[in-house]
Amino acid sequence: MQIELRDVSFSYGRQKALDGVSFCAEKGTMTAVLGPNGAGKSTLFCCMLGLNRDYTGSVLLAGQEARSIARRDFSQLAAYIPQSNAPVYNYSVLDTVLMGTTGQLSLLSSPKAQQLRQAETALEQLGICHLAFRGLRELSGGERQLVLVARALVQNAQILIMDEPTANLDYGNQQRVLQGVRTLADSGYTVLISTHNPEHALRYSTHVLALQKGRRVAFGETEGVLTDALVSELYEFPVTMAEVSTASGTVRAFVPNADCENKGNVL
């Protein structure tokens, strides 16, 4: 098992943010973490990344307790891919990806031919070799997000943890990034990804973990777990699952029930 959480709880002072969450993810799976704002998604990720250390229960990454893993070892085990925001510095794509190899280098040494080969392979894997010498500021949001994924790949970690990687992307780039991420899962990586869009989970994830008020309300294979009833309950907004015929087969999508009164809270 690559990721295993057993009865994990975490509180900020008296505010309970995670309440007895358990799930596991095997090699080659892509688990989408769904839930409304405040459900506990970020808290869960921080526990997994060893940033929230005061949890109870157990967070195991490749069998090791997350909070006890030394930072350098952690980087070989799991890579975190943040949302892509406007970069402050205009580092080249290649230099940015090479930064992911830092964990392999000793203090003050610089990347060698081996790291360069790794960076080139990662760029190839994601189909962005042609961007290698462009500056980060000269890229689209989608291209920049793929660069962050490439930087994670050169860490040689088998677990990829992504916090809403499509948050700032246009529709086409969202699909391209998620397709790329799913391909990585299919090639053996274990991917955990949070998203606000249940359709992303429906189309690309193999598994779904649904959280509400810090508790697990559903977990399992996407096909069986991600129903319109679950999405309606999670987001307090009624939806129906529709099946649409396309040139490449039948595609399922959630459609909001527009004529239903929204009984949820406006945040």
In the complex, which residues of this chain contact ligand ADP (CB under 6 A)? 12, 15, 17, 35, 37-43
Residue nearer to ligand ADP on the CB measure, 147 or 192? 192
For tokens 């309300």, the residue is: 217
Instruction: Please report how close the Cβ of residue 18 comes to ligand ADP at its closest, in angstroms.
Output: 8
Helices 171-186 and 141-153 pack at an angle, to 10 degrees, of: 20
Instruction: Please report how close the Cβ of residue 210 comes to ligand ADP at its closest, in angstroms.
Output: 11
Instruction: Please report how close the Cβ of residue 172 comes to ligand ADP at its closest, in angstroms.
Output: 26
CB 241 within 8 A of CB 232: no
Residue nearer to ligand ADP on the CB measure, 12 or 105? 12
Which among 53, 79, 75, 80 is positioned nearest to 66, based on CA atoms?
Answer: 53
Local structure of 170: helix, strand or coil: coil
Which among 41, 17, 28 is positioned nearest to 162, based on CA atoms?
Answer: 41
Local structure of 267: helix, strand or coil: coil
Instruction: Please report how close the Cβ of residue 65 comes to ligand ADP at its closest, in angstroms.
Output: 20
Residue nearer to ligand ADP on the CB measure, 40 or 100? 40
CB 61 within 8 A of CB 3: yes
What per-residue string of b and e applies to 70-102 under the rule 16 or more CB within 10 Å gives b?
Answer: eeeebbebbbbbeebeeeeeebbbbebbbebbe
Residue nearer to ligand ADP on the CB measure, 131 or 208? 208
Instruction: Please report how close the Cβ of residue 161 comes to ligand ADP at its closest, in angstroms.
Output: 13
81's tokens? 């891919």
Residue nearer to ligand ADP on the CB measure, 150 or 230? 230
Residue nearer to ligand ADP on the CB measure, 41 or 151? 41
Q: How many Cβ atoms sit within 10 Å of the Cβ of residue 181?
A: 26
Instruction: Please report how close the Cβ of residue 12 comes to ligand ADP at its closest, in angstroms.
Output: 3
